[in-house]
Amino acid sequence: MLEEKSKQWTWTSLTDSSTSLHPPIFTKDGNYFFSVVGSSIKIHSTVSGKVISTLPGSQDQGHSDIITAAILSTQNAFQLITASLDGTIKIWDFLDGVLLYTLNLEQPIYHMCAHEKITDHIFVSAAKPKANRRTDGASETRAQNQDESCIVLKVSLKPKDRNNPGIKIHKSSSVTPVGKTRATSGLAVSASGGWLIAIAGHKAYVANTSSLKAGFTKYVSPDPLTCLSVHPTEDYFATGDHKGVVRLWYCLNQSIPKVVGVEKRSQTSTFHWHAHAVSSVAFSTNGAYLLSGGEESVLVIWQLHSGKKEFVPRVGSPINNIVVSRPHAAEEEYLLSLADASYAFISSATLKLSRVFSRIKLDPALPNHTASSSSRISLAVHAASDTLILPSSHPSSLQTYSPSSSILIAELEVSPSNRVSRTDDRALEPSRVEHVVISASGEWMATIDRREGDGTFRGEVYLKFWWWDKKAAFWILNTRIDQPHGSYRVTSLSFNPLGDSQLIQLVTTGEDGNVKTWRIRSTKDKKGGSEVSWMSRSTFTFRRETPKHTSWSPDGSLLAVSYSASVAMYDPTTNVLQHNFCCSEVPEVSSAHFVGPSGRNLVVMGKVSLVVWDIVTQSVRWHYSNPALIQSVVVHPTHESFAIFSPIISNSPKCEVNVFRVQSSTPWLTQTLPFKLLSVAWYPTSPLPSSGPHVTKSSFSIVGITHSYNVVHFGEEISHAAELGASANALSKGASVTKRSLFQEMFGVPALAEISDQNTNVASSTNDVTLPWRGSETGKIFDGPSYLMPPMETLFDSLISGFLKIRLDNEEEQQPPKGPYDIDSEMQVDSPSNGDEAFAVRLTEVARENVLQTFVPFFMEMTGSAEYAFQANKASNPTKPVVASTPQPRRPLARPPVAQKVATPNPPTPNQTPTTSLPAKAGKKRSRHSLG
């Protein structure tokens, strides 16, 4: 009975469609930020970086082209305004995730800005539409044609005929032209709202917003300008240029006379550190610092009044944009939008990376991806952890990505290298990871990283073996072998399919003509432990031909090595040649693969043809000639079938997939995918809990990297769980955070106000016996300046629980009586386990009328009045024993205990060592600096 043919293949993208050059935008409360991805807007959580919502929703019609500009409305903080190359402006309510209305300008829009003093109007830079305009990410602002002219417009946000429900796309009620420019690189309004600034080419265009009919005044820059930022409080602006110069412009002045048609030079000041073009500049919220970044992957912080600078190096990728957050309760942070589609937060206090949000780091626009045609794209699947091993944004690194959770697990630097992209105009050739394979057990990974040599540097080739640490869930370097095939390139490597660590082997082939096998060697160290490393096992050749590819039979008993005109079959144990399959039907062999779980059939691939051999009978079953070039092949691991991938035509973005079975040369299934593939691999998926009628064991599940460097998962019955935030969702406004007074910052809020049930439950949950503060983690809390530290009440409970052991009821010990003024008499630790109520619950017992009485002893101790009374009483009656008054029971304060300071009537000199105030032993004279 013939099996039913498979269904139509489906596919899903595991990465974003493109890397946007538009800067992210923070909401007014700083809890969320927006990122532009193609023609959609994603709303991220500032704390977790997860996508909460995506605009547009299914009920709204979004932009038909990529979004080039987005700003928050100056009149309504819950509205977002977006502009696109499709010539439309859309106003969104991002809280509810709905589109309010659309304005159509019928001109592609590149930049947009607004100011709160100019109500119901925005400024845009637009261009006339062109028939050959690109629609991919490269057509964004910085990839425009510099010869293209733009026009700056003042557009009213009030649409015509808005009350007409039949009209979905409106015209603006007022569009006023300001002036013509070249292709703009930035557009902004000054802090006072009196000046409109645009930069394009070598010029900065300035117009007075109160008299826009006068047009622009042009100011000349020595080099092409790339980015723009206005000062938050004063009327001047900063730019970056192609030579790496940051320039401050002081030309926003009414006294400067305007001469039509004459270009001027403005008073400026410059800062120069960058070796390449500056991609983004931004002012801090107080205007005292200027931040700049670019291709060097270094954030530079300039102090404006002194010109001094600080650096945050190696942020991970070239910087596209810099945005300064404006949180109300926390410290200021800098958000970096990186070229590999990652977002990095940097603390303004410590100047360290606080958190990084990224999915898959792939970007073909990076200079390091401009590789030669012989470079390879590595791709592997680690079934033990259900992750993908992919090339990272830097070619010398690999990244581990989990498709099931859509999380970037880790990044592995295979070859440590300098991240400087180039010196002057010459790009540096970094080390590149060309091959990655993983053993069948998932315990070992082998990589080949190579660096081309030049006249001043000798080439490098390294074979590295990595061991999978299950506890740490990370790859650890075990063995490095320099030049496994000399200075020649390694053409292929593969593990045998055996899971036994004692029988596992790796085979490599190189352009030197050698086929080498590698095995594990175990040695014992001095302590009796076992050390495992890899070593060479054997080397052999075949007729001085260059091997191109290797493949193992499913049981590991045969090794197939592909040469130009034949495939040699070896016994991997003895390296004895079993048979040589000459393939006259394939003019030039590129690879050979065993098909099916039995391994009886061997498919030999060429550039445009293939042949299937029966190994047992040593005969050709059939051969097939493909009308297009065969780029890659994927063999089904449990079924006797395989798929070949071919581009339809050279300039088409599509590819064709033909699925064959070993019984027939006619394709069993033909599919068309809307992308071309650079690399493919089989991706094992878990079986469905209930197998329906359409579920077959011959289903394909493949993962690949496209020519646009997107990672896609495609095949039959491909299903992924709906990702959080993939559709438009309503956002919660959240409770407003009231600003604390100075007294509340010193002594805490619960002592002066009732504690809500919610806060009580949260505080009670912190009384845990676990000890979260360990080693260096504790020290990181105190890295910042004291004036930027959070209130001590937020850290005290968990910090002390990490240092002090909670005493249980059965562990109480008899303590000797101590004086009322001993230091440690005030260090009381409430045990949460010796009562029915938690510490946070007992805080509610503080009565409002007793607040002052509670704080009176505290203030007396802090000012030293109690100590002064004690010393005066002792001096007036030296022979009379001091009778201490019975102290009133102290209620627990709502602030953490403060370490008591010792009052020293005579402070020690610099050369004198002070003594601590410890209880004196009987019969010995007390120190002159001790109490009592």
Instruction: Look at 128-132, 425-429, 483-487, 545-549 and tell me which has the smallest mean pLDDT.
Output: 128-132
At CA 575, angle to CA 574 and CA 578, rounded to 5? Answer: 100
Do 663 and 654 meet the contact criterion of CB atoms below 8 Å apart?
A: no
Mean pLDDT over the full length of the chain: 78
Do 361 and 400 meet the contact criterion of CB atoms below 8 Å apart?
A: no
Q: Nearest to residue 319, comparing CAs of 371, 349, 276, 271?
A: 276
Over residues 260-313, the pLDDT tens digits come to 556 677 789 999 999 899 999 999 999 999 999 998 889 999 999 998 999 999
Q: Nearest to residue 342, comparing CAs of 725, 706, 20?
A: 20
Residue 421 has pLDDT above 70, yes or no: no
What global pTM score does this model have?
0.72
Determine the Cα–Cα distance for residues 720 and 403; give it in Å rounded to an integer: 9
The terminus-to-terminus CA distance of the chain in angstroms comes to: 102
Neighbours of 356 (CB within 10 A): 17
Do 94 and 81 meet the contact criterion of CB atoms below 8 Å apart?
A: no
Over residues 134-187, the pLDDT tens digits come to 444 444 444 444 457 899 999 999 988 777 766 778 999 999 999 999 999 999
In which order are the strands placed within the sheet that holds 175-182? 109-113, 121-126, 149-156, 175-182
Over residues 602-647, the pLDDT tens digits come to 999 999 999 999 999 999 999 999 988 999 999 999 999 999 999 8
Residue 419 has pLDDT above 60, yes or no: yes
Q: Mean per-residue pLDDT for 185-210?
A: 94
Over residues 695-712, the pLDDT tens digits come to 456 688 999 998 878 889
Over residues 224-237, the pLDDT tens digits come to 999 999 999 999 99
Specify which of 565-579, 730-744, 915-929 reaches the highest per-range mean pLDDT.
Answer: 565-579
Amino acid at 406: S
Q: Residue 863, class by beta-carbon neighbours within 10 Å (0-12 exposed, 13-18 middle, 19+ buried)? A: exposed
Instruction: Look at 245-259, 416-430, 472-486 and tell me which has the smallest mean pLDDT.
Output: 416-430
Instruction: Look at 156-170, 495-509, 555-569, 831-845 and tell me which has the smallest mean pLDDT.
Output: 831-845
Do 380 and 388 meet the contact criterion of CB atoms below 8 Å apart?
A: yes
Determine the Cα–Cα distance for residues 345 and 49; give it in Å rounded to an integer: 10
Instruction: Look at 70-84, 130-144, 540-554, 557-571 and tell me which has the smallest mean pLDDT.
Output: 130-144
Residue 706 parent element (H or E): strand 701-706
Q: Which two tokens stand for residue 462?
A: 């390294």
270 or 821, greater pLDDT: 270
Q: Mean per-residue pLDDT for 814-839?
A: 43
Q: Say what the pLDDT of residue 913 is.
A: 42
Do 157 and 122 meet the contact criterion of CB atoms below 8 Å apart?
A: yes
Give the HSE-up count for residue 111: Cα atoms under 13 Å, Cβ half-sphere: 26
689 or 784, greater pLDDT: 784
Q: Nearest to residue 319, comparing CAs of 416, 227, 230, 248?
A: 227
Question: What's the CA dihedral at 260, 265, 271, 273 to 10 degrees?
Answer: 90
**415-431 CB burial, b ≥16 within 10 A, e <16:** bebebebeeeeeeebbb
Q: DSSP character for 758?
A: H
**906-930 CB burial, b ≥16 within 10 A, e <16:** eeeeeeeeeeebebeeeeeeeeebe
What whole-number percentage of the chain has pLDDT above 90? 45
Q: Say what the pLDDT of residue 720 is.
A: 58
Token match 């100075």: residue?
Answer: 742
Residue 863 has pLDDT above 70, yes or no: no
**Partner residues linked to 31 by β-bridges:** none
Q: Say what the pLDDT of residue 721 is.
A: 54
Q: Say what the pLDDT of residue 798 is.
A: 65
Contacts of 495 (CB under 8 A, 6+ apart): 437, 438, 439, 440, 444, 446, 504, 505, 506, 552
Residue 395 has pLDDT above 50, yes or no: yes
Specify which of 621-630, 741-750, 802-811 reaches the highest per-range mean pLDDT.
Answer: 621-630
Instruction: Look at 491-495, 583-587, 839-843 and tell me which has the smallest mean pLDDT.
Output: 839-843
Q: pLDDT-derived band of residue 359, with 50, 70 and 90 as boundaries?
A: confident
**Partner residues linked to 206 by β-bridges:** 197, 217
Residue 872 parent element (H or E): helix 865-876
Determine the Cα–Cα distance for residues 179 and 653; give it in Å rounded to an integer: 39
Q: pLDDT-derived band of residue 925, with 50, 70 and 90 as boundaries?
A: very low
Q: Which two tokens stand for residue 219?
A: 């100011």
Amino acid at 460: E
Task: Give the ranges where 425-575 is alpha helix by DSSP (H).
Answer: none
Q: Mean per-residue pLDDT for 463-492?
A: 94
Q: pLDDT-derived band of residue 408, with 50, 70 and 90 as boundaries?
A: confident
What whole-number percentage of the chain has pLDDT above 70? 68
Instruction: Look at 357-361, 497-501, 730-734 and tell me which has the smallest mean pLDDT.
Output: 730-734
Residue 479 has pLDDT above 60, yes or no: yes
Classified as helix, coil or strand, 359 is coil
Q: Say what the pLDDT of residue 152 is.
A: 95
Contacts of 923 (CB under 8 A, 6+ apart): none
Q: Nearest to residue 314, comparing CAs of 327, 325, 298?
A: 298
Do 798 and 769 meet the contact criterion of CB atoms below 8 Å apart?
A: no
Determine the Cα–Cα distance for residues 47 and 125; give it in Å rounded to an integer: 34
Contacts of 753 (CB under 8 A, 6+ apart): none
Give the HSE-up count for residue 208: Cα atoms under 13 Å, Cβ half-sphere: 10
Token match 């899971």: residue?
Answer: 499
Tell me the backbone φ, ψ of residue 859, rounded to 5 degrees. Answer: -70, -35
841 or 876, greater pLDDT: 876
Q: Say what the pLDDT of residue 168 is.
A: 77
Residue 507 has pLDDT above 70, yes or no: yes
Q: DSSP character for 364?
A: T
Q: Mean per-residue pLDDT for 44-48?
A: 88
Q: Which two tokens stand for residue 554?
A: 């499913």
Over residues 771-783, the pLDDT tens digits come to 344 444 555 656 6
Determine the Cα–Cα distance for residues 631 and 644; give it in Å rounded to an integer: 8
CA 40 centroid distance within chain: 19
Over residues 517-537, the pLDDT tens digits come to 999 999 888 887 888 999 999
Residue 681 has pLDDT above 80, yes or no: yes
Residue 911 has pLDDT above 50, yes or no: no
Give the HSE-up count for residue 84: Cα atoms under 13 Å, Cβ half-sphere: 25
Parallel, antiparallel, or unpaired for β 474-482 and 460-469? antiparallel
Determine the Cα–Cα distance for residues 645 and 656; give it in Å rounded to an integer: 6
